[in-house]
C-alpha cells in the first residue's frame, strides 16, 4: 500500500509517468477511494504546474485582494492597461481565482458594471475631492484589445461562455470605435475614439497598441472585421528612417510619419521610448509565421543593429536613429530578449538576459532596484515567453504550459 508520504514525494516531482505509477499502486484501495485520490493528485499537480514565481511576486506588490492593479509610482492609480495585462498573466498562470477578481473589479469600477456594453475607462484613482473613482472615462485601445483577447481566450480555455461573450462584445466595440481606415494607408488602430483625429486628414497612431498576434487572432475570429487589414498596414505604420519604433506616428493620405504626440503629452521631438519598447516585445513573442511579422521585423533593423554595438537598449531614440539620454531601465532589456532570440542574435540576447538576472531582487522576486511597475509588466511578458509558459500560434491562439 502506498503511503501519503510516498504520494507527496511523487507529487513534488510531478511527472506524468510518476503520477501513473501512483495510480497503479492505488489499485490496492477500493475503486471509489482510488478514484478520489487520483482526482486530488491531478488537481494538486495542475496547481503545481501553474505556479509562476514572477506572477506571484507581482501580485504581492501590485494587486490588491479585490483584483485592482495598483501603480504605486503614479499616486496609487489603476489603469485599464494594467487590468488587461494582469488578466493575461493570470490566464497564463492558470490563476482562475485572480482572473475572476480582476474581471469583476474592472467590470464594476471601469465599465459602470457592464464590460459587455461599454469599453472601460482608462484610469481610476484618487480625485482632487478625495474620492476614489474613474479619473479618465475615455477608453484606451491597447487595453481594450488585450482585455478582449484575455476574455475570449479565458472563455475558450476555461469553457466560460460569460467570458467568451464579454470578450466578443469588447472586440466588436474596438473594431467599431477604435479601428479606422486611413486613405492611402489602410486600417490603423487609433489610441481611442476621441482626441486622436484632429482634422480631416490626420490620425494619431501609437504603434505599440497593435500587437500582431492579437490582430491575427481577431482576424481569424472575425474575417469581415478590420483586423486583417490592420495587420497588413502594420509594417507601414512601423516604418521610420532609422529603423526604430516610435511612440507616436501620424497617418494620412500622404502616408505615415513619426510625429510629436497629441496635444497634452509632453515631448520635444518625435521619439521612440517607453511606449515604443513594446513594439519589439510584441514582434518577438508573435509566431514568425503570423502575417506581417517578418516584414515588420525588417522595419525594426535599427534596434537590431544598435544592440550589436551597445550593451543596453536606448531609453529614447529619434526617428533618424539617434539615441537620446542614457541606458534604458531593466524592463527594456527584458522586452528585447524575445525580439533578439527570434532573429537568432544569441550573443546580444545573452547580454540582456545577464542584465535582467543581475538586477533581480532575490527578496522580492522582482526586477530593478526600484521594482518599477512598468518594468515588471515587460518582464512578465518576456520571461513568460522565454520560459515557454505561453506561445501564440500563427493565428494568435494561446498555447499554455498548464493546458
- Provide, for the chain, the percentages of residues in helix, strand and coil under a 3-state DSSP scheme, each rounded to the nearest 5: 50, 15, 35
Q: What is the CA radius of gyration of the chain?
A: 22
- How many angstroms separate the CA atoms of 234 and 226, rounded? 13
Q: Do 216 and 231 contact (CB within 8 A), yes or no?
A: yes
One DSSP character per residue, 196-265 reads: S--BTTBEEE-GGG--HHHHHHHHHH-TTSSHHHHHHHHHHHH--TTS---S-EEEETTEEEE-PPSTTS
Catalytic residue positions?
81, 142
Report yes or no: 236 and 292 within 8 Å, Cβ to Cβ. no
Q: CB of 331 within 8 A of CB of 379? A: yes
Measure the CA–CA gap between 374 and 386, rounded to whole angstroms.
18
Identify which of 392, 374, 388 has the alpha carbon closest to the alpha carbon of residue 329: 374
Q: Are 306 and 277 in contact (CB under 8 A)?
A: no
Contact 140, 122 (CB under 8 A): yes
**What are the grid coordinates assigned to 18, written together?**
510518476
How far apart CA 61 and CA 54 sit, in angstroms, is 11
Amino acid at each position: 500500500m502506498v503511503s501519503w508520504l510516498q504520494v507527496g514525494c511523487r507529487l513534488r516531482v510531478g511527472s506524468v509517468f510518476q503520477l501513473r505509477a501512483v495510480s497503479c499502486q492505488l489499485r490496492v484501495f477500493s475503486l471509489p477511494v482510488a478514484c478520489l485520490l487520483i482526482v486530488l493528485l491531478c488537481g494538486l499537480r495542475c496547481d503545481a504546474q501553474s505556479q509562476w514565481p514572477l506572477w506571484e511576486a507581482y501580485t504581492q506588490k501590485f494587486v490588491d485582494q479585490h483584483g485592482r492593479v495598483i501603480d504605486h509610482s503614479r499616486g496609487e492609480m489603476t489603469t485599464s492597461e494594467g487590468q488587461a495585462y494582469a488578466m493575461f498573466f493570470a490566464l497564463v498562470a492558470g490563476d482562475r481565482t485572480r482572473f475572476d477578481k480582476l474581471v469583476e473589479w474592472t467590470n464594476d469600477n471601469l465599465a459602470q458594471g457592464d464590460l459587455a456594453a461599454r469599453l472601460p475607462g482608462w484610469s481610476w484613482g484618487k480625485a482632487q475631492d478625495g474620492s476614489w473613482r474613474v479619473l479618465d472615462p475615455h477608453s484606451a485601445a491597447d487595453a481594450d484589445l488585450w482585455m478582449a483577447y484575455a476574455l475570449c481566450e479565458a472563455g475558450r480555455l476555461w469553457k466560460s461562455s460569460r467570458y467568451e461573450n464579454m470578450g466578443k462584445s469588447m472586440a466588436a466595440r474596438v473594431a467599431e470605435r477604435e479601428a479606422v481606415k486611413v486613405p492611402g494607408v489602410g486600417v490603423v488602430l487609433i489610441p481611442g475614439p476621441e482626441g486622436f483625429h484632429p482634422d480631416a486628414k490626420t490620425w494619431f497612431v501609437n504603434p505599440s497598441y497593435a500587437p500582431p498576434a492579437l490582430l491575427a487572432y481577431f482576424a481569424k475570429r472575425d474575417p469581415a472585421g478590420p483586423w486583417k487589414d490592420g495587420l497588413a498596414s502594420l509594417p507601414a505604420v512601423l516604418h521610420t528612417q532609422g529603423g526604430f519604433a516610435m511612440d507616436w506616428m501620424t497617418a494620412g493620405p500622404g502616408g505615415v510619419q513619426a510625429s510629436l504626440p497629441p496635444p497634452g503629452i509632453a515631448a520635444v521631438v518625435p521619439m521612440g521610448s517607453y511606449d515604443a519598447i513594446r513594439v519589439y516585445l510584441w514582434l518577438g513573442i508573435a509566431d514568425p509565421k503570423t502575417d506581417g511579422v517578418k516584414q515588420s521585423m525588417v522595419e525594426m533593423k535599427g534596434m537590431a543593429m544598435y544592440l550589436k554595438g551597445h550593451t543596453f537598449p536606448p531609453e529614447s531614440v529619434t526617428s533618424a536613429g539617434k539615441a537620446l539620454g542614457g541606458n534604458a531601465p531593466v524592463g527594456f532589456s527584458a522586452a528585447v530578449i524575445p525580439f533578439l532570440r527570434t532573429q537568432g542574435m544569441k550573443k546580444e540576447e545573452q547580454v540582456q538576459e545577464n542584465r535582467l538576472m543581475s538586477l533581480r531582487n532575490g527578496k522580492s522576486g522582482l526586477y530593478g532596484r526600484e521594482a518599477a511597475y512598468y518594468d515588471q509588466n515587460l518582464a512578465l511578458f518576456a520571461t513568460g515567453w522565454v520560459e515557454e509558459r505561453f506561445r501564440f500560434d500563427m493565428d494568435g491562439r494561446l498555447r499554455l504550459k498548464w493546458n
